[in-house]
């Protein structure tokens, strides 16, 4: 999730507040595909389909909602991006609960409980971890080995530079937006059996994503990975050592601590804005 937010931010230079909504859509698509089309045993087939559909959705929405920001007719770009993506979040959440109601659903899982060393782990959780790692590997290969991946990395370095090289920046933005929300949908689809499917199920993951970004530093991909790890450790430690019901508060305390000692995050650059 944090990777998706960072991915969009580093290229399109905006925070997409609606990430949670795409997570939610990913989980709903997974639910529908598993229960209506593929069946529980072929859940792994449903995952790429859900992700691909959300990618298309993101790529379709970008030109309508985000591109006007760069066309020069928007006076305050940040304000525009923030309000529009928050409105999009509310819109998608409201439509979801309008259609499906507030019920919590689950696509079910064909995986039983696995015992890993001393710890029993739910199969679905474990599968989510494995698939997420595989997907991150593929994402890494895509970014490192393909022309498009190279252009995306280049655009994160310099938006002017890629235009000079002859890249159509509008297409890159569209792809990056689609790709970023597809990453959110991947999380949504994989975690659907664990955290269930309901209209606001993306909120918690988005919050974790933002916390990770402050911890790791805005716009830094290694920061996102390290921040995620640190957040996970602190939350589990807090759960074990203090009290489990405040699990979500530990992360925020960590954020406050980071802001106090190193406001730009672990991997952020110290930059005075001009």
In the shown chain, the binding pattern of residues 149 to 178 toward another protein, with x for contact by CB under 8 A and - for none, equals -xx-xx-xxx-xxxxxxxxxx---------
Total residues binding another protein (CB under 8 A): 68
CA nearest neighbour of 15 among 83, 67, 70, 61: 83
Q: Which of 68, 108, 225, 239 binds another protein (CB under 8 A)?
A: 68
**Is there binding between residue 105 and another protein (CB under 8 A)?**
no
- Identify how many contiguous H helices and E strands the chain contains and give both numbers: 11, 2
Beta carbons of 6 and 221 less than 8 angstroms apart:
yes
CB of 217 to another protein, least distance (A): 11
Considering the rule CB under 8 A, would residue 78 count as an interface residue with another protein?
A: yes
Cα–Cα distance for residue pair 223/216, rounded to 1 Å: 4
Q: Establish if 252 lies at the interface with another protein (CB under 8 A).
A: yes
Q: Does 145 bind another protein (CB under 8 A)?
A: no
What is the per-residue burial (b if ≥16 Cβ within 10 Å, else e) of 216-246? bbbbbbebbbbbbebbeebbeebeeeeeeee
- Angle separating helix axes 147-157 and 2-12, nearest 10 degrees: 70
Cα separation, 163 vs 42, in Å, equals 43
For residues 48 and 117, is the Cβ–Cβ distance under 8 A? Answer: no
**Choice from 25, 33, 84, 181 touching another protein (CB under 8 A):** 84
Q: Is 15 in the site for another protein (CB under 8 A)?
A: yes
Identify the residue among 210, 228, 230, 238 touching another protein (CB under 8 A).
Answer: 210
**87 makes contact with another protein (CB under 8 A):** yes
Q: Which stretch binds another protein (CB under 8 A): 35-43, 50-58, 90-98, 106-114?
A: 90-98
Whichever of 29 and 162 has its CB closer to another protein, that residue is 162
User: Which residues, in sequence order, are CB contacts of 144 under 8 Å at separation 6+?
Assistant: none
Which letter, b or e, does each residue of 73-83 get, where b requires 16 or more Cβ atoms within 10 Å of its Cβ? eeeeeeebbee
Binding site for another protein (CB under 8 A): 15, 17, 65, 68, 75-76, 78-80, 82-84, 86-91, 93-95, 97-98, 101, 147, 150-151, 153-154, 156-158, 160-169, 200, 203-204, 206-207, 210-211, 213-214, 218, 245-249, 251-252, 255-256, 259-260, 263-264, 272-274
């Amino acid at each position: 999730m944090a990777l998706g937010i960072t991915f969009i931010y580093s290229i399109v230079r905006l925070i997409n507040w609606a990430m949670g909504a795409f997570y939610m859509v990913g989980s709903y698509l997974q639910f529908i595909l598993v229960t209506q089309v593929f069946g529980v045993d072929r859940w792994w087939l449903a995952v790429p389909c859900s992700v691909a559909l959300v990618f298309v959705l993101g790529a379709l929405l970008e030109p309508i909602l985000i591109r006007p920001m760069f066309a020069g007719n928007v006076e305050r770009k940040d304000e525009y991006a923030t309000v529009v993506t928050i409105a999009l979040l509310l819109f998608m959440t409201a439509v979801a609960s309008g259609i499906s109601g507030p019920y919590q659903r689950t696509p079910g899982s064909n995986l039983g409980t696995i015992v890993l060393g001393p710890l029993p782990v739910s199969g679905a959780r474990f599968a989510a971890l494995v698939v997420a790692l595989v997907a991150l590997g593929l994402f890494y290969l895509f970014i490192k080995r393909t022309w498009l991946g190279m252009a995306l990395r280049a655009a994160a370095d310099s938006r002017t530079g890629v235009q000079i090289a002859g890249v159509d920046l509008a297409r890159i933005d569209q792809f990056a937006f689609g790709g970023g929300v597809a990453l959110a949908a991947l999380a949504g689809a994989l975690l659907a059996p664990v955290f269930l499917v309901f209209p606001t199920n993306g909120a918690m993951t988005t919050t974790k994503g933002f916390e990770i970004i402050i911890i790791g530093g805005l716009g830094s991909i290694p920061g996102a990975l390290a921040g995620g790890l640190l957040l996970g450790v602190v939350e589990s430690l807090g759960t074990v050592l203090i009290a489990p019901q405040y699990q979500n508060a530990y992360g925020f305390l960590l954020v406050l601590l980071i802001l106090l000692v190193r406001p730009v995050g672990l991997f952020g650059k110290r930059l005075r804005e001009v």
